[in-house]
């Protein structure tokens, strides 16, 4: 799904009004009615106090439409107009008049702190103060109102986006922003919904298709995509009946050191469980018995050093090589990575200490084969590209790095971002149970496996990240977050691939 900017959404809005020959008020009615339907479906007429806070722009207009429908369906609604300015939008005014017709209980005007209502724990608050039109931080008494709502413990539903969030920049640490429990957003998710600094404001997210012109949207150039089940399925390459193990990749995993052999075991298990035909490992000698026992399907070569990697098997003919998990950063292991980079022209996957070695030896970056995949977590990323001021600057820096070195970066997190030059792919699978040692090692194995099976590196990264999260979701569904182990994610890869094609088994995310 394309992630559109506020500007693109406004354009689509105008084109829809023109092409469908409707007024902007009718479009607002359509969008806000969808929000009402969702609320009605969940509340089923429950007599709980609903407090709707409306701004004076079109987000406020949506709030007034929602209020009208809720009142007409017998809900206990109180409407507040957060009168932060006198420039009421036309559609706000039209809906203000419509509301007056159906109730004597007219909106309460809030113009200062003294007008604030009491908000109680059991209230259902609808935030329709600001949407994509916010152009400066919320200040003064409006900021105080935002804090009052946040501190109320009431359930908060945000319309289009939580008030206080911008669509194209982060709000700053002390800014007043609604902390929603649930966000119902129109037509397209916004980039800020997925960034580490701002994702916590969103709560659960649902995107409503408000019927903006499909043709116009399909022609819009977007560089940012949300990857859900539908997008993942489209990347899948089916196996051929007439095939053999040589068709599914000869993978080489290089890693491990004394005390960290488990990392390569996880990576290799994930690679084989993702469909690799032939999986070999190059490890320090101390890992020999561990791998042969733990993963008899894998083949092994060992370094002459017992405890760490000192070299790289240059003559080994692999389709794809993965380097880095559990390696450490000893000078001798730096040499191993150097030899690997000198010996390879095809894309490689670099993770963990492989990334730390790159950060300590920046001259190696130029040696990375084109379209190699780097999989940093935020700490590794910082060492690689330097610190950033906010998430938007981080994305710009990563794009620049990706272009400069011709590589793909998988920036791991609650929403993992795969960045290929100017393109951003945001992952929508996964859960907090995956915040457990070794789950990154598993991801590297999955991506390496897919490259070995003939996926383009960027597709291997995007699809691999999705499958990794999906396997984590399936595992969490079975055993909960707390006891989820990285090895479970690897072992459940088969279920994840199957779930891609099962309609009922998993909710399409």
Ligand X SMILES: Nc1ncnc2c1ncn2[C@@H]1O[C@H](COP(=O)(O)OP(=O)(O)O)[C@@H](O)[C@H]1O
The footprint of ligand NPW (CB under 6 A) covers: 9-10, 13, 27-28, 31, 55-62, 84-85, 87, 89, 130-138, 159-160, 186-187, 210
Rounded Cα distance, 25 and 31, in Å: 10
- Paired residues of 128 in beta bridges: 54
Q: Pick the closer one to ligand X by CB: 294 or 413.
A: 413
Token output for 272: 């084989």
Residue 163 contacts K ion per CB under 5 A: yes
Pairing between strand 299-302 and 278-283? parallel
187 contact choice in K ion, ligand X, ligand NPW, none (CB below 5 to 8 Å, kind-dependent): ligand NPW
Residue 142 has which token pair?
A: 């409006």
Q: Which does 127 bind (CB under 5 to 8 A by kind): K ion, ligand NPW, ligand X, none?
A: K ion
Residue 437: contacted member of ligand X, ligand NPW, K ion, none (CB under 5 to 8 Å, by partner type): ligand X
Residue of the chain from 145, 159, 460, 467 that contacts K ion (CB under 5 A): 159
Q: Please, which residue, 178 or 270, has the CB nearer to ligand X? A: 270
DSSP 248: G
CB of 419 to ligand X, least distance (A): 14
Nearer to ligand NPW, 89 or 475 (CB): 89
Contact call for residue 13 and K ion (CB under 5 A): no
Residues 6+ apart with CB under 8 A from 199: 192, 193, 414, 415
**Which residues belong to the annotated binding site for K(+)?**
59, 127, 163
| CA–CA distance, 300 with 293 (Å, rounded to integer) | 11
Backbone φ, ψ for residue 209 (5° rounding): -80, 105
Contacts of residue 35, Cβ cutoff 8 Å, sequence gap at least 6: 62, 66, 159, 184, 208
How many Å apart are CA 509 and CA 502, to the nearest integer?
13
Q: Indicate which of ligand NPW, ligand X, K ion, none lies near residue 439 (CB less than 5 to 8 Å, by partner kind).
A: ligand X
Shortest spacing between CB 138 and ligand NPW, in angstroms: 5
The smaller minimum CB distance to ligand X, of residues 66 and 266, is found at 266
Min dist. Cβ of residue 86 to ligand NPW (A): 10
Cα 450 from chain centroid (whole Å): 21
Which residues carry a binding-site annotation? 58-62, 127, 131-137, 160, 163, 326, 377, 412-416, 440-441
Q: How many residues bind K ion (CB under 5 A)?
A: 4
The token pair that represents 137 in the structure block: 């931080």
Q: How far is CA 390 from the centre of its chain?
A: 17
d(CA 354, CA 376): 10
From ligand X, ligand NPW, K ion, none, interface partner of 150 (C-beta below 5 to 8 A by class): none
Could you list the residues known to form a binding site for (6S)-NADPHX, using ranges.
58-62, 131-137, 160, 326, 377, 441
Contact residues for K ion (CB under 5 A)? 127, 158-159, 163
């Amino acid at each position: 799904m394309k992630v559109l900017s506020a500007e693109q959404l406004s354009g689509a809005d105008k084109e829809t009004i023109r092409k469908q020959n409707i007024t902007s008020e009718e479009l607002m009615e359509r969008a806000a009615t969808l929000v009402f339907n969702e609320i009605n479906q969940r509340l089923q007429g429950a007599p709980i106090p609903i407090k709707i806070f409306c701004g004076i722009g079109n987000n406020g207009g949506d709030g007034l439409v929602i209020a009208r429908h809720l009142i007409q369906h017998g809900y206990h609604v109180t409407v507040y107009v957060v009168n932060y300015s006198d420039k009421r939008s036309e559609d706000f005014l039209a809906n203000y008049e419509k509301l007056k017709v159906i109730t004597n209980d007219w909106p309460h005007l809030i113009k200062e702190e003294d007008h604030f209502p009491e908000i109680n724990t059991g209230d259902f608050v609808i935030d329709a103060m600001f949407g994509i039109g916010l152009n400066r931080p919320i200040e003064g008494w409006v900021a105080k109102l935002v804090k009052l709502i946040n501190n109320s413990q009431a359930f908060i539903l945000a319309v289009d986006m939580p008030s206080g969030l911008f669509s194209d920049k982060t709000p700053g640490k002390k800014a007043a922003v609604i902390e929603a429990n649930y966000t119902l957003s129109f037509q397209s998710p916004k980039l800020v919904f997925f960034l580490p600094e701002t994702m916590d404001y969103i709560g659960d997210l649902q995107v409503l298709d408000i019927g903006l012109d499909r043709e116009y949207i399909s022609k819009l150039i977007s560089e940012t995509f949300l990857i859900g089940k539908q997008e993942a399925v489209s990347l899948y390459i089916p196996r051929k009946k007439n095939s053999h193990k040589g068709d599914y990749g000869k993978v080489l995993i290089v890693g491990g050191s004394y005390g960290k052999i488990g990392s390569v075991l996880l990576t290799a298990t994930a690679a084989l469980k993702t469909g690799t035909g032939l999986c070999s490992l190059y490890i320090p000698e101390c890992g020999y018995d561990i791998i042969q026992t733990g993963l008899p399907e894998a083949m092994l070569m060992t370094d002459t050093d017992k405890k760490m990697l000192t070299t790289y098997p240059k003559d080994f003919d692999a389709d794809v090589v993965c380097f880095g998990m559990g390696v450490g950063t000893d000078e001798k292991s730096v040499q191993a990575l150097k030899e690997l980079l000198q010996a390879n022209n095809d894309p490689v996957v670099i993770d963990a200490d492989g990334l730390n070695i790159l950060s300590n030896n920046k001259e190696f970056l130029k040696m990375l084969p084109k379209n190699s995949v780097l999989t940093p977590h935020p700490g590794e990323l910082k060492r690689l590209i330097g610190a950033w001021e906010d998430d938007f600057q981080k994305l710009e820096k990563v794009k620049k790095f990706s272009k400069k070195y011709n590589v793909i970066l998988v920036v791991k997190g609650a929403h993992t971002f795969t960045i290929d030059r100017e393109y951003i792919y945001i992952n929508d699978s996964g859960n907090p149970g995956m915040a457990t040692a070794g789950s990154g090692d598993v991801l590297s194995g999955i991506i390496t496996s897919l490259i070995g099976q003939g996926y383009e590196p960027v597709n291997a990264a995007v699809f691999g990240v999705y499958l990794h999260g999906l396997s984590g979701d399936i595992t969490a569904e079975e055993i909960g977050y707390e006891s989820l182990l990285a090895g479970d994610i690897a072992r459940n890869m088969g279920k994840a691939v199957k779930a891609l094609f099962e309609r009922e088994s998993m909710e399409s995310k």
